[in-house]
Amino acid sequence: MKAHTESDLASGDNAALASDFDKIATFAPSGYTKWASIAKDGATAAKASNTDAVKAACRGCHDQYKSKYKAEMRTRAIPGA
């Protein structure tokens, strides 16, 4: 995720960023109940060129799931990566 979203955010490529978020929404792990909705919010924000809302979506997901994901799923293959 990081390899794609960071560079798209830095370059201001909102179309690619929206696509990134759409893909991220599709591989929500079981039990990560808000993952998909957060990613969809990020896609909507990217489509609207709202960088602050894009960053808020990233932050919201990371605050909620980053530690848990690293502990439980670190070796999980990311589909399409």
**What are the residue ranges spanned by the domains of the chain?**
2-73
- pTM metric for this prediction: 0.87
For 31-75, the pLDDT digits (tens) are: 999 999 999 999 999 999 999 999 999 999 999 999 998 898 877
pLDDT of amino acid 80: 61
pLDDT of amino acid 43: 98
Q: Which residues contact 37 (CB under 8 A, 6 or more apart)?
A: none
For 21-30, the pLDDT digits (tens) are: 999 999 889 9
Torsion of CA 79, 35, 12, 81, to 10 degrees: -10
Rounded Cα–Cα distance for residues 40 and 45 (Å): 9
77: DSSP letter: P
